[in-house]
Amino acid sequence: MALTALKELQAGDHAPLLVFEVGRNSQLDSLSYQSLIMRRVFVRFPEVLFIHRTHNPRGKILYTFLVDAPGVQLESSLTRIVYFSVPVKENTEGLVQLFQTFKKFNPEWERICTILVDPYFSLLPVLAMEFPSAEILLSAFHVCKFLQGKFYRLALEHSVKKLLLTTLKNTMCSATASNLKKMHSLLSDSVPQDLQPDLHLSWLLDDRIWLAHRWRSKAESMCYFQDLEITTRVLSQFFGIELSLERSVLSLIGYLKQNMEKEGASNSDLNIPANCTPPEPSAEITKLQEVEACIQHSLQTICAEPAAQLCLGEFAVVQRSVQLIGSSTDRVNVQILEDMHEVHPQGPGSCTCHFSQTFGLPCRHILAILSSRQQVLQPEMLPEQWKRGCRTPPGSVASLANILGSRWNVALDKELVVAFLTGEVRRLLLQCSREEFERRYNTLRELADSWIGPYFQVQV
């Protein structure tokens, strides 16, 4: 039915540009799409192209092209989208086909001067080969998101981490050379030297990246980042879920078509407002903020202090991530830019992730479900020993409180790493074929013998 609907999109006088391939299993393998509105926007603003990639739990990647030239301030943030495509695979052959289809759809592609990409895009030679006259740069938006993610994972004091995030936000909204140098100096002083290479601090001093963004005023920069944040979240909500590729694409096409028409983007003149001021938060965003505040309050009210501290750390990950949530009859699948886990939210909530299995506490996946359903933590979802006011035997919550109140130590680090690796090895062995199991078992046998020696019978 979904493939039939895609074929129907190709019919009619005002049909979009649509190319797709079906695999041997009669399922969609690849797709490229551009509506008439998208084509009109690209013809109007072809100079700078912004490429965003959205990952799907099934292994597919959605490439979305947006216009990003000076003066592009359309009525709807989604109207920046001018083309999207899902390659069969993210390899040289798949991307060559993707880019060549875009060029067939848009003969004006030679007018592209700059292409902005994310730091994790590795097939830059393919992009350079297909667009030889365009300069390929990192986008300011993706660099900002990259640094934000790194800051959250750094083991720094809360006040230092907050200072870094605030300074980064202010720098992105006013990316002058002096502000970028100040940001660089702050990171050099705040982050341990051995961790600095992972942050790629040189990007802050690469003027080519920021010249493509610096022309915006502070108000325009705020508007720009908020628009892209909304757009990328919409893409993740529609494409990054556990649905068939056909259904995901159809849902996304329908949503984009509805919103573009509602915003009046089909007008031939494509009205461009003279000034862009930061929009007021939508009712949906305001509601989300209220829900997040209620979840935080419920955690602090119901949980003992150590449990609240652990869960608030998990919820912080939820707040700064996109949650990919799909449900079935008896379980909910949650992915937060990591391996997918199964959640059983009824009763004392449980999840297959390491945090939930180790501590028995609401993890980021359970909290993501609460957030998406606009619910809060209930007392029955928490094991008795973690509830506020509950008397527990010495050595349980009290010992964990000591761990949380102390600095990280090598022994604890090793213990958690070993537990995680043991679980991963067990999972991989259970999932592989008999032949693969024998090969992996023999590898473990040799490793154990080399460590402890064949003179001891080591059980593996």
Q: For residue range 400-418, what is the model confidence (pLDDT) as tens digits?
A: 555 455 444 556 556 656 7
Average pLDDT over residues 417-429: 72
Q: Does 327 score more than 50 pLDDT?
A: no
pLDDT tens sequence across 95-115: 999 999 999 999 999 999 999
Average pLDDT over residues 299-326: 65
pLDDT the model gives residue 58: 76
Report d(CA 333, CA 316) in Å as an integer.
Answer: 19
Question: What's the pLDDT band for 397 if we cut at 50, 70, 90?
Answer: very low
Q: Are strands 324-327 and 332-335 parallel, antiparallel or unpaired?
A: antiparallel
Question: What's the pLDDT band for 273 if we cut at 50, 70, 90?
Answer: very low
Q: Does 282 score more than 80 pLDDT?
A: no
User: Are the C-beta atoms of 340 and 57 separated by less than 8 Å?
Assistant: yes
End-to-end CA distance of the chain: 49
Question: What's the pLDDT band for 195 if we cut at 50, 70, 90?
Answer: confident
pLDDT tens sequence across 260-272: 665 544 444 444 3
Q: Alpha helices, DSSP H only, in 373-409?
A: 397-405
CA dihedral 187, 190, 194, 200 (to 10 degrees): -10
Greater confidence (431 vs 53) lies with 53
Q: How many residues does the chain have?
A: 460
- Reduce the DSSP state of residue 340 to 3 states and report it: coil
Percent over 90 (pLDDT), the chain = 18
pLDDT tens sequence across 22-67: 777 777 778 888 888 889 889 989 999 999 998 887 788 999 999 9
Question: What's the pLDDT band for 286 if we cut at 50, 70, 90?
Answer: low
Average pLDDT over residues 275-284: 45
pLDDT the model gives residue 398: 46
Question: What's the pLDDT band for 316 if we cut at 50, 70, 90?
Answer: low
Task: Give the chain's mean pLDDT.
Answer: 76
Greater confidence (423 vs 180) lies with 180
Cα–Cα nearest to 212, from 136, 314, 123: 136
Beta bridge partners of 54: 62
Q: Alpha helices, DSSP H only, in 114-244?
A: 124-130, 140-153, 158-173, 177-190, 207-211, 218-239
Q: Which residues contact 105 (CB under 8 A, 6 or more apart)?
A: 17, 32, 34, 39, 83
Measured CA distances, 193 to 183, 197, 308, 318, 422 (Å) = 15, 8, 32, 29, 31
Report d(CA 194, CA 115) in Å as an integer.
Answer: 32
Token pair 């604890």: residue:
412
Distance of CA 290 to the CA centre of its chain: 22
Token pair 């008397």: residue:
391
Q: Does 330 score more than 90 pLDDT?
A: no
Average pLDDT over residues 181-204: 90
Helix axes 364-372, 305-319, angle to 10 degrees: 60
pLDDT the model gives residue 445: 76
Q: Does 304 score more than 90 pLDDT?
A: no
Could you tell me the two tokens for 199? 């942050």
Question: What's the pLDDT band for 393 if we cut at 50, 70, 90?
Answer: very low
Q: Does 94 score more than 70 pLDDT?
A: yes
Percent over 70 (pLDDT), the chain = 70
Which of 178-182, 343-347, 378-382 is predicted least confidently?
343-347
Query: Residue 340: how many CB atoms within 10 A of its CB?
Result: 15
Greater confidence (222 vs 242) lies with 222
Greater confidence (319 vs 256) lies with 256
pLDDT the model gives residue 429: 80
Burial class (CB within 10 angstroms; exposed 0-12, middle 13-18, buried 19+) of 388: middle
| Sign of the dihedral through C-alpha 117, 118, 121, 122 | positive
Q: Does 93 score more than 70 pLDDT?
A: yes
pLDDT the model gives residue 313: 67
Most confident of 165-174, 405-414, 438-447: 165-174
